[in-house]
Amino acid sequence: MIRFTRSARIVPGKFPHAIQWAKEITEFANKKYRIQMTLYVDCFGEVGTIRWFADYPDLAAVEKVRNQILPDHEYWKKFNQSTELLIQGSLIDMVMQSI
């Protein structure tokens, strides 16, 4: 199994708006790309960090979704709404394989 994770830190003072945006883009991605992405926010540690998780059967499935997202103008329009909500440079993507 492959797990994709994305994390980003919320701009101070933008927490409610960032959470709402994160919920909306998660719902959009799940519906449009037929994935099961889940959304979390840190309660301890890096408070103010949003984290997304999605599991895939293999790397080919990750690449398939990535190839659908890259040219999708609707997705990028929604994603770009985050520029005022997330700290620039805090976005981190990771792909892990179960052992």
- Could you give the CA distance from residue 68 to residue 32 in angstroms, rounded to a whole number? 10
**pLDDT reported for residue 39:** 98
**pLDDT reported for residue 13:** 96
pTM exceeds cut of 0.95: no
Task: Judge contact between 96 and 3, C-beta under 8 A.
Answer: yes
Calculate the dihedral angle through the C-alpha atoms of 17, 22, 25, 29, rounding to the nearest 10 degrees. -170
10-residue stretch averages of pLDDT, the chain, 99 residues long: 97 96 97 96 93 97 95 95 94 96
CATH number of the structural domain 2-97: 3.30.70.100
- Could you give the CA distance from residue 33 to residue 22 in angstroms, rounded to a whole number? 16
- Could you give the CA distance from residue 97 to residue 57 in angstroms, rounded to a whole number? 10
